[in-house]
Chains A and B, each alone.
Chain A
Amino acid sequence: MAERSDVELLEELLAREHRLLSAYEAALRRDAIDVKLGEWLRDHEREHVRAIEQALAGRGERNPRATVPAPELTAALRSGESFGRYAIELEEQTVGDYSDAAASIRASGLRQPLGSIMACTAAHMVALRDSLGYRQLLN
């Protein structure tokens, strides 16, 4: 696989964050998530979007990813439980993306901050599992 540039890595993370943000906004609109938890998650995603956009600023030509609503989201919004499972999966994929990006990004000054967002994203999975009443919180 061709190595991706730092801008490409950050654009992919930004697309992920937009997807999560859209999911939590939709879940809050459709009452598919506890309001307090949904707002907590949504506010974190907003901060992550802001941070990645800030990291992208001044890094040359942007190549934004098109973001289209995921068809699975519509189905997931049918109930709190199905949305919770969907969100856990999305957060898990995002942790994987951050893990890869934090390791491979060339700008060494961004590795720790990306790891910091990854850590928050891993904590989101715990919060979602707890909200679904799962006894096991660990991966």
Chain B
Amino acid sequence: MAPSLTRREALGGAAAAAVLASCGGGDPPPSTGPAPGSGAALLGSLLALERAAIAAYGTCAELLSGRALQHVRGMTAQERGHASRLERLITDLGGEPAPGRSAEEQARTFPRLGSADDALRFAEDLKERELRAYLEALAELPSVDLRTETSRICADEANHLGAIRVLRGLPAAQGPFVTGAL
């Protein structure tokens, strides 16, 4: 059943949290595959997040035009590249990337968006959550190689977040430490 969200919830963190919480957490764990602690499970979570984001940006794109649409399309293309890289990393670790949900299943978890402003605000919130997830993964992934791959994706996500904020008429970064502090 599609979630029933108020407009306020739909445009705030609650909506993005609902989308991302439902992006694959219910998938059964693989019975065979990489050893615990290999990082494959964490990469699987990031992959589910990327797939949810790809579907969400597709929904956002329906409400956008001009420069904003061009950028959201560009971001979606890069997100597809990220998803492919994550799938390869999981495979290299001996795992099998989960098939993920269909676009229709993903779309049922999205809030109703009524305008381009709604779409960009939703996209910004999703992007912040993606970025935070990659930053957390940097602290937890066990090998330098895996961290290097995720760090590069993280830089792309930060670039996307800055672009969305500028498209919204905001400063590209909220402050000197995006989503965290030293």
Contact = CB atoms under 8 A, between A and B. Distances in A.
Nearest to B148: A103
A125 B138 contact: no
B135 A137 contact: no
Interface in A79-127: 95, 98-100, 102-104, 108-127
> Chain A interface: which size bin?
35 or more
Given A111-B138, A115-B180, A116-B180, 13 more contacts: A103-B151, A104-B147, A115-B135, A115-B138, A119-B131, A122-B155, A123-B165, A125-B162, A126-B165, A127-B162, A135-B70, A136-B74, A137-B162
Name the prevailing secondary structure of the B interface residues.
helix
B172 A124 contact: yes
Interface of B: 67, 70-71, 74-75, 78, 131, 134-136, 138-139, 144, 147-148, 150-152, 154-163, 165-167, 171-173, 175-182
Contacts of A118: 151, 154-155, 158
Contacts of B172: 123-124, 126-127, 130
